[in-house]
Amino acid sequence: MSRSGGRKTVMVGVKTEQDFKKKWKELSNNGTKVDSLIIFSHGGKEDGKGVLYFSEKRKMDGTVSNSDLKNLPKLQYNKGGNIDVRACLGGSGNNSVAETLSDTQNVSSTGVSGKATFSTNPKQHNRISFFGRSKKVYLDAFNRSHNNSSGDGKKLAPQSFSPND
């Protein structure tokens, strides 16, 4: 936990679907006031709707479905509070994770607009070192590989949502 400019930063690590739902409920029950909630996860689409993927555990498949997202308890957000979804397809299309959370949590949100990958540069894809040599690492969608095989590697603009757009 750290403090900056009167704001408190809390990082919560989760590995499983069960952990994600439990920690979200704890934030709700504790009355934590949220300025910005950033989700780093695997993501995708199932039946055309955004989902998050975590490790499988205790008879759970590891998937936080769009229906699960809609049923998460509402958190308390400070004025200007927002959600940023850093997961593959987090903001892509209707019923994306970012759009669903914007509507159900009644806050603005942004989400990655394609397949996400790690980079050492926030604006241009630059492959990270898997041996711990990369000092700064960013997770975003870039105009390359799965998003565009002949792309220039520049960052793809995230998709933004307002509640009930």
**Does 82 fall in a domain?**
yes
Q: Could you read off the pLDDT tens digit of each residue along the chain, which spans 165 residues?
A: 445 566 666 778 888 889 999 999 999 999 889 999 999 999 999 999 999 998 776 666 789 999 999 999 999 999 999 999 999 999 998 999 999 999 999 999 999 998 988 889 889 888 887 777 778 888 888 888 777 777 888 988 999 999 976
**Does 133 fall in a domain?**
no
**Does 67 fall in a domain?**
yes
CA 93 remoteness from chain centre: 15
**Does 34 fall in a domain?**
yes
Q: How far apart are CA 152 and CA 124, in angstroms?
A: 8
Report how many domains make up the chain.
1
Classify residue 147 as left (phi > 0), alpha (psi -120 to 50) or beta. Answer: alpha
**Does 148 fall in a domain?**
no
Q: Structural domain of residue 41, as residue ranges? A: 2-113+157-161
- Contact assessment for residue 87 and residue 52, using Cβ atoms and an 8 Å cutoff: yes
The pair phi, psi for residue 2, each rounded to 5°, is -140, 160
Q: Which pTM value belongs to this model?
A: 0.86
- What is the token pair recorded at 56? 């499988």
pLDDT of residue 146: 76
pLDDT of residue 60: 63
**Does 64 fall in a domain?**
yes
**Does 126 fall in a domain?**
no
Angle at 145 between CA 150 and CA 153, to 5 degrees: 65
**Does 31 fall in a domain?**
yes
